[in-house]
């Protein structure tokens, strides 16, 4: 009994040591992980959900073409699960009961791939309701070259469509903020 208890304590200690990760994901109630576009260091020990409501993605399917090397090419429309809200302070859950349902933001990405790499202007839209028909608002346009942000990333106000911020990127690194 003592040995079992000691092993359990050691396992919990190791879990806490490695509780931060480089990319965010949702753990559903049946144990499956859902890949997301949010990439933040999140203390998973403080983010608890019973399950994720992924019902909108039942009808939202990525579309585009592949080349002979199974790389994405041409125009694509993608619907990733956006978990950037998981990084916000208002989202951190401190109780251990898995009682809340996470409702990810519905996002649409549109742009072109060249041999599996993002190229040119990519647009990011968000839906303001979680049921069909979706009403999409343009959030951001970002210039890509060789799968890296190169050029302007422009953020828009979803209601007025005014530009709220412009950042210039070079090789995925922000080098200048214009607005």
96 HSE (CA, 13 A, CB side): 1
- 52 bridge partner residues: 102
Which tokens belong to 126? 């968000």
84 vs 75: which has the higher pLDDT: 75
Mean pLDDT of 122-147: 92
Residue 73's pLDDT band, with cuts at 50, 70 and 90, is very high
Q: Is residue 152 part of a domain?
A: yes
Q: Is residue 109 part of a domain?
A: yes
How many structural domains are present in the chain?
1
Instruction: Give, in order, the Cα–Cα distances in Å from 141 to each of 47, 60, 74, 86, 150.
Output: 30, 21, 18, 23, 12
Q: Is residue 172 part of a domain?
A: yes
Dihedral (CA of 38, 39, 40, 44) sign: positive
Q: Is residue 26 part of a domain?
A: yes
Q: Is residue 2 part of a domain?
A: no
Residue 16's pLDDT band, with cuts at 50, 70 and 90, is very low
Q: Is residue 8 part of a domain?
A: no
86 HSE (CA, 13 A, CB side): 30
End-to-end CA distance of the chain: 63
Could you tell me the residue range of the domain that residue 119 belongs to? 20-177
Q: What is the mean pLDDT of the chain?
A: 74
């Amino acid at each position: 009994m003592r040995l079992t208890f000691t092993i359990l304590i050691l396992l919990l200690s190791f879990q806490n040591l490695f509780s931060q990760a480089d990319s965010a994901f949702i753990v559903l109630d049946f144990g499956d992980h859902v890949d997301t576009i949010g990439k933040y260091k999140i203390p998973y020990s403080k983010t608890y959900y019973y399950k994720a409501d992924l019902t909108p993605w039942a009808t939202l399917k990525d579309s585009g073409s592949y080349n002979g090397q199974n790389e994405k090419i041409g125009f694509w429309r993608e619907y990733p699960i956006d978990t950037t809200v998981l990084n916000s302070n208002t989202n951190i859950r401190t109780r251990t009961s898995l009682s809340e349902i996470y409702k990810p933001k519905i996002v649409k990405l549109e742009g072109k791939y060249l041999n599996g790499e993002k190229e040119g202007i990519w647009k990011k839209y968000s839906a303001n309701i979680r049921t069909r028909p979706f009403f999409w608002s343009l959030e951001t346009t970002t210039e890509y070259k060789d799968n890296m942000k190169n050029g302007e990333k422009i953020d828009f106000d979803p209601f007025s469509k005014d530009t709220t911020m412009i950042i210039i990127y070079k090789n995925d690194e922000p080098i200048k903020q214009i607005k």
